[in-house]
């Protein structure tokens, strides 16, 4: 008997003749952090888009345990159900904050908007909750009315996190949330994510090319190459005792500081 | 995972290696095979402190890492008993291994894997919470351990990244000992400590042993080894496959 939160089965996607990803299956438990690692073009972002139902697979399925405990095939949800799920019970933190935020709306508005999308109507409550969350992600109160166009890269990512977590999701997808940031900014963001994930018991699927990020955040890791999962297991086991030639290459290519 | 009922009258090992074999294959070196272990058989009972002996490179650390699920096994079983539950680490799923680490096995390595921005006391207390202590109890116990290990109080709120090797190691020991799990794996926990702090660690180890924990460790210092070992096992014997 499985009590998985999410089950992916046989996910396959081609872009024309080119393979995106092939026959990927996995289970994700509540509170579990799964890292998908691999180099550019390995299919990890395609896989994440399939899980997020932003891409339709050629074959395969994704099922999710809804809040009522029933496992549903996501492709069978109505559009209204799917949208409700994505804006309340799921979060998606993107590499490019411009895709995850409304750049012309204030920071407070970005967080409040998602709360309203989840059904909140009382302005005072919305503003109060938004402020709480901005404080949690270390955005100073005097920046609440600024739009994210005036934020640094690290602040934008923290704002994305607040926007996603404000509705109390059970599953958060993250696509390279720390890449492109200065290392000190990256460390701060990683630590913030690590703390929030543990505190809130979130299930997370994080796509990263950075093995250190996978080690710091994840319980389990899937290594992808050329669209296929080539190795999977406990994160420290895969990183400390990699079995596949390609995983050994990835692990040995990391520069030690 | 295997599960079996054990009667309370029998004394059974808490940790048992049966014919455990391990070879590293280095694919980037043309597939060179590095045999580490040909067949390890070892049982560690509650209240024992078994010290692994043998020259450097004999596979002592590998054995500990296999017991913690950090290295895979090619063959054999590693049975971990907690109460009436028996888990074979060698064949356990990642979730089962994580559950063992939460409830049953602690591992103190030589080095602290530091986390940016998290202070020493919190590094220790969070390990206590993960091991099931209530938040206030975890904090109090973290402070007890850090003071007993002579880590100056002014360092408690600072992230250990900037600490000396010995200071980091003491944080690491506190982290490994705060949750009192029935099995404790120790990989040179005293390597960079002075005599005073080595003596503290010896006392902490003896206390865990007296409380009935099963300990398996590697100790380079002869004085520490002699103070804690109930038995020394030379792992060189595990290099060759042993007769069944």
- What does A5-62 look like in DSSP terms, one character per residue? SEEEEEEEEEETTEEEEEEEEEEE-TT-EEEEE--TTSSHHHHHHHHTTSS--SEEEE
Q: What is the rounded distance in angstroms from the CA atom of residue A5 to the CA atom of residue B112?
A: 33
A139 domain residue, yes or no:
yes
Looking at the structure, do residues B49 and B120 belong to the same domain, yes or no?
Answer: no
Q: Look up residue B101 and give its two tokens.
A: 């680490």
Q: Which of A187, A194, A245 sits opposite B27 (nearest CB)?
A: A245
Quick check: B125 and B136 in contact, CB under 8 A?
no
Q: Are residues A237 and B116, on separate chains, in Cβ contact within 8 Å?
A: no
Q: Three-state DSSP class for B174?
A: helix
Domain that holds residue B199: 3-104+182-243
Are B92 and B193 within one domain? yes
Q: Where is the domain boundary, B180, B215, B232? A: B180
* A188 CB within 8 Å of a chain B CB: yes
Whole-angstrom distance, CA of residue A177 vs CA of residue A181: 9
What CATH number is attached to the domain comprising A126? 3.40.50.300
In a domain, B110, yes or no: no
Q: What are φ and ψ of residue B190, in 5° steps?
A: -110, 10
Is B150 found in the same domain as B230? Answer: no
Contact B149, B193 (CB under 8 A): no
Provide mean pLDDT across the span B184-203.
93
Mean pLDDT lowest among A8-17, A58-67, A177-186, A215-224: A177-186
Does residue B1 have a pLDDT over 80?
no
Residues B11 and B78 grouped into a single domain: yes
Q: What is the ipTM of this complex?
A: 0.88
Kindly state whether residues B206 and B238 are assigned to the same domain: yes
Domain extent, residue A204, equals 6-256
Measured CA to CA, the distance from residue B216 to residue A102 in angstroms comes to 55
Structure tokens given for A105: 């709306």
B60 and B41, same structural domain?
Answer: yes
Query: How is A234-250 classified by DSSP, letter by letter?
Result: EHHHHHHS--SHHHHHH
Contact with chain B for residue A138, Cβ under 8 A: no
Q: What is the pLDDT of residue A251?
A: 92
**Shortest Cα–Cα distance, B27 to chain A (Å):** 5
Per-residue pLDDT, B59: 92
Give the H or E element holding residue B139. helix B135-148
Identity of the residue in A188, A216, A241 whose CB atom sits nearest the CB atom of B72: A241
If one counts the domains in chain B, the total is: 2
pLDDT over 50 at B243, yes or no: no
Please indicate, yes or no, if residue B96 is contained in any of the structural domains. yes
Is residue B14 domain-shared with residue B65, that is, in the same domain? Answer: yes
| B96 & B120 share domain | no
Question: Does some domain include residue A124?
Answer: yes
Put simply, whether B27 touches A (Cβ < 8 Å) is yes
Backbone angles phi, psi at B22, to 5 degrees: -150, 130
B62 and B166 part of one domain: no
**What mean pLDDT comes out for the span A48-75?**
96
Residue A8's closest CA among A80, A57, A68? Answer: A57
A244 CB neighbours in chain B (<8 A) are 27
In chain B, what residues touch A234 (CB-CB under 8 Å)?
69, 94, 97-98
pLDDT in tens, B15-46: 999 999 999 999 988 999 999 999 999 999 99
C-beta separation of A39 from A212 below 8 A: no
Is residue A190 less than 8 Å (CB to CB) from chain B? yes
Q: Is residue B109 part of a domain?
A: no
Please tell me whether residues B152 and B218 are part of one structural domain. no
Q: Which long-range contacts (CB under 8 A, 24 or more apart) does A109-115 make?
A: A110/A148, A110/A159, A110/A162, A110/A163, A111/A159, A111/A162, A111/A163, A111/A166, A113/A163, A114/A87, A114/A163, A114/A164, A114/A166, A114/A167, A115/A166, A115/A167
List phi, psi (to 5°) of B68. -90, -5
Question: Which residues of A fall within a CB distance of 8 Å from B63?
Answer: none
Task: Please give the mean pLDDT across all residues of chain B.
Answer: 91
CATH of residue B238's domain is: 3.40.50.300
Q: Pick from A96-100, A117-121, B110-114 the range whose average pLDDT is largest.
A: A96-100
Could you say which of B180, B200, B217 is where a domain stops? B180
Decide if B233 is inside a domain.
yes
Q: Is residue A1 part of a domain?
A: no
**Within a domain: B175:** yes
pLDDT digits (tens, 9 = 90+) for B57-72: 889 999 999 999 999 9
From A189, A134, A184, A132, select the one nearest A157 (Cα to Cα).
A189
Check whether B2 has a pLDDT greater than 60: no
Phi, psi (5° rounding) for residue B109? -90, 180
Whether residue B187 is found in the same domain as residue B173: no
Per-residue model confidence (pLDDT) at position A257: 53
Please write down the HEC assignment for all residues of A96-125: CHHHHCCCCCCHHHHHHHHHHHCCCCCHHH
B26 contacts A188? CB cut-off 8 A: no
pLDDT at A198: 87
pLDDT above 80 (res B244): no
What pLDDT was estimated at residue B8? 47
């Amino acid at each position: 008997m499985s009590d998985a939160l999410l089950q992916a089965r046989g996910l396959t996607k081609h872009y024309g003749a080119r393979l995106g990803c092939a026959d990927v299956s996995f289970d994700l438990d509540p509170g579990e952090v799964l890292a998908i690692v691999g180099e550019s073009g390995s299919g990890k972002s395609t896989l994440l888009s399939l899980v997020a139902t932003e891409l339709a697979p050629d074959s395969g399925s994704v099922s999710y345990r809804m809040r009522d405990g029933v496992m549903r095939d996501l492709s069978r949800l109505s559009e209204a159900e799917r949208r409700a799920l994505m804006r309340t019970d799921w979060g998606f933190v993107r590499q490019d904050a411009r895709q995850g935020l409304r750049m012309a709306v204030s920071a407070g508005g970005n967080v409040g908007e998602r709360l309203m999308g989840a059904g909140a109507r009382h302005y005072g409550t919305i503003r109060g909750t938004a402020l709480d969350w901005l404080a949690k992600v270390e955005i100073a109160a005097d920046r609440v009315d600024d739009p994210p166009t005036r934020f640094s890269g690290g602040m934008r990512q923290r704002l994305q996190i607040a926007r996603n977590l404000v509705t109390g999701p059970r599953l958060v997808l993250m696509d390279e949330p720390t890449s492109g940031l200065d290392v000190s900014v990256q460390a701060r963001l990683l630590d913030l994510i690590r703390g929030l994930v543990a505190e809130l018991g979130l299930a997370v699927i994080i796509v990263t090319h950075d093995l250190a990020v996978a080690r710091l955040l994840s319980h389990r890791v899937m290594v992808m190459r050329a669209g296929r999962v080539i190795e999977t297991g406990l994160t420290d086991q895969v990183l400390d005792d990699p079995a596949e030639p390609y995983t050994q290459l990835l692990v040995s290519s990391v520069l030690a500081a | 995972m295997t599960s079996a009922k054990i009667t309370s009258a029998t004394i059974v090992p808490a940790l048992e290696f049966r014919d455990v074999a391990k070879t590293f294959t280095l694919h980037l070196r043309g597939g060179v095979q590095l045999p580490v272990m040909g067949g390890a058989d070892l049982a560690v009972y509650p209240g024992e402190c078994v010290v692994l002996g043998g020259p450097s490179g004999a596979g002592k650390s590998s054995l500990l890492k296999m017991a913690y699920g950090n290295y895979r096994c090619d063959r054999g079983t590693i049975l971990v008993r907690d109460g009436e539950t028996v888990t074979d680490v060698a064949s356990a799923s990642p979730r089962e291994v994580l559950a063992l680490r939460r409830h049953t096995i602690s591992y103190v390595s030589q080095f602290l894997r530091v986390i940016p921005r998290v202070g020493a006391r919190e590094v220790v207390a969070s390990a206590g919470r993960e091991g099931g202590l209530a938040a206030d109890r975890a904090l109090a116990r973290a402070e007890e351990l850090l003071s007993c290990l002579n880590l100056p109080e002014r360092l408690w709120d600072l992230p250990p990244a900037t600490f000396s090797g010995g200071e980091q190691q003491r944080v690491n020991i506190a982290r490994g000992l705060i949750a009192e799990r029935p099995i404790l794996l120790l990989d040179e926990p005293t390597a960079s400590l002075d005599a005073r702090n080595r003596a503290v660690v010896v006392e902490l180890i003896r206390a865990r042993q007296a409380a009935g924990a099963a300990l398996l460790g590697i100790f380079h210092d002869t004085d520490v080894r002699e103070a804690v070992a109930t038995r020394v096992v030379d792992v060189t014997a595990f290099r060759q496959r042993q007769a069944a």
